[in-house]
Amino acid sequence: MNPLRAVLLASLLSFLAPATALAASATEMIPDAYAAPATRVVLGDGRSINLRCSGQGERVVLFEAGTNADSTTWYRVLPMLKDHARACAYDRAGYGFSDEGPMPRDLNADITDLHELIRTAKLPLPLVLVGHSLGSNIVRGYAQRFPSDVAGMVLVDPPEQGADSAMPEQWKRDDAISREKRNAFLAACAKAAEAEDFLTASAPGCLRPPPAWMGERVAASVKANKAKPGYWRTLRSELTENERVFSTQVSPEERYGEIPLLLLSAGQLDKGAPEEVRAVLKQVRELTHQRIMAASTRSERRLVSDASHDIQLDRPDAVASAVEEMLRLATPHPAKEQ
């Protein structure tokens, strides 16, 4: 989730709850398989990263989640691709069933982990990378650093970058207060986790109830994973780094060369925000998306008008369709394992 939008439009706890979506009440339940780790990929420093794959095919599509999210966010999309590719999603360090990683948890750390994960798991290259929200920043950074690894990209509602300076002064004051409250709240939850007392009344409000699509087994595993101190250290670091990432406009020098790119843009955003704030967000979002599109010589943007920021939950078919098209566009076929 974009921290700018979260601070502006949601409560403090929206950072800590599982993702919700416009169509959450109508979605199928997440499989109980998500209540346990899938494949533990051990990195060179001994840390384990949880990798979850399904389907088959010559191509591998690797999914990158947004802020405070893990592989569960893709549960509706992966089954739709089972006949087209091997679809894989993973938990970033400190989230889900993956071990905590070294601090800070910035884009460099995420890209470095992703590169080692791909090679340690021996995923055939080049891959199609799919990133939601913050995950789109990780995917973009990876494509710039390791372009030969990437056959194509699907970016799911990249957040606006560089809106802070254009916001009304009152918003800036309210935002500063909200960040202080958020950090105090995170510190309290981390303290409860470190005391191994997180699952009791000493940590009130650190988790909201699970979404409608999450059954008891998966909800219990999510709660247990978020009772770990490393989760709170990771979240605090990621949110702090996000303030820097999203306060800066996309560089006009950003380039992905001929790597094909499809960008999905959500249509249901910023509801309830004052008109002057909505105007800033709309303008900056347009600039952000245009600069991302300009970085590839083969890019296209599509509006998903009936979806919130969590397009993968509201309209998984739109994401799956974009991935299927990218599989046709992306060349050459995988030729090696690393």
Lowest-pLDDT choice from 33-42, 43-52, 136-145, 200-209: 200-209
Helices and strands (H and E) in the chain: how many? 9, 10
Assess whether pLDDT exceeds 60 at residue 20. no
pLDDT interval class at 237 (50, 70, 90): very high
Q: What is the pLDDT of residue 332?
A: 62
pLDDT interval class at 153 (50, 70, 90): very high
Q: What is the pLDDT of residue 335?
A: 52
Assess whether pLDDT exceeds 50 at residue 150. yes
201-217 pLDDT tens trace: 556 678 888 899 999 99
Of all residues in the chain, what percent carry a pLDDT higher than 70? 88
Pairwise pLDDT comparison (15 vs 69), residue with the higher score: 69
Assess whether pLDDT exceeds 80 at residue 156. yes
- Write the burial class of residue 314 (CB in 10 Å: 0-12 exposed, 13-18 middle, 19+ buried): buried
pLDDT interval class at 51 (50, 70, 90): very high
Q: What is the pLDDT of residue 204?
A: 64
pTM for this structure? Answer: 0.92
State mean pLDDT over 175-193: 90
Of all residues in the chain, what percent carry a pLDDT higher than 90? 74
Assess whether pLDDT exceeds 70 at residue 164. yes
318-338 pLDDT tens trace: 999 999 999 999 866 555 444
pLDDT interval class at 2 (50, 70, 90): very low
Assess whether pLDDT exceeds 60 at residue 159. yes
State mean pLDDT over 65-92: 97
Q: What is the pLDDT of residue 202?
A: 53
Lowest-pLDDT choice from 26-35, 53-62, 124-133, 254-263: 26-35
State mean pLDDT over 115-142: 97
State mean pLDDT over 260-282: 88
Query: Is the CA virtual torsion 325, 328, 330, 333 positive or negative?
Result: positive
Whether omega before 332 lies within 30 degrees of 0, making that bond cis, reads yes
Q: What is the pLDDT of residue 24?
A: 45
Q: If you compute the radius of gyration of the chain from its CA atoms, what whole number of angstroms results?
A: 19
For the beta sheet containing 150-156, the strands, ordered from the edge strand earlier in sequence to the opposite edge, are 39-42, 48-54, 86-90, 60-64, 127-132, 150-156, 261-266, 299-304
State mean pLDDT over 119-145: 97
State mean pLDDT over 259-280: 88
Helix axes 229-246, 169-194, angle to 10 degrees: 160
Q: What is the pLDDT of residue 196?
A: 76
Q: What is the pLDDT of residue 334?
A: 54
Q: What is the pLDDT of residue 198?
A: 72
Assess whether pLDDT exceeds 80 at residue 67. yes
Q: What is the pLDDT of residue 1?
A: 38
Long-range contacts of 194-199 (CB under 8 A, 24+ apart): 194/229, 198/226, 198/227, 199/223, 199/224, 199/227
